[in-house]
Amino acid sequence: MTLTVEETDRIIEMAWEDRTTFEAIEYQFGLKEQEVINLMRREMKPSSFKMWRKRVQGRQTKHEKLRSFEKGRFKCSRQKQITHNRISKR
């Protein structure tokens, strides 16, 4: 799969967000968790990648199955619309 610069930037942004699940990234861009990890490894400096991996590893909010709130929600109901986000433009 070939991603544009804008799509790559958005995936990295979503991967850094605590509340955005890997499932949401897969839904929008078709990348599974391991593919997101590989993209992050490829696009980031090694120190930044290590910091990100330490941050998200085992984090409940990054995995839909471990979350306790309503299924199908990718963001807080009070969060403003995000530009360049295909889901919010429906």
φ, ψ at 69 (rounded to 5°): -90, 175
pLDDT at 26: 92
pLDDT tens digits in sequence order for the chain, 90 residues long: 788 999 999 999 999 988 888 888 999 999 999 999 999 999 999 999 999 998 888 776 676 665 555 555 555 555 555 555 555 544
As for how many domains the chain has, the answer is: 1
pLDDT at 51: 92
pLDDT at 29: 93
Question: Which residue type occupies 12?
Answer: I
As a whole number of angstroms, the distance between CA 74 and CA 77 comes to 9
As a whole number of angstroms, the distance between CA 27 and CA 39 comes to 16
How many degrees, rounded to 5, is the angle at CA 51 between CA 24 and CA 38? 50
The verdict on pTM exceeding 0.75 is no
Write out the residue range of the structural domain in which residue 52 sits.
Answer: 5-89
pLDDT at 86: 58
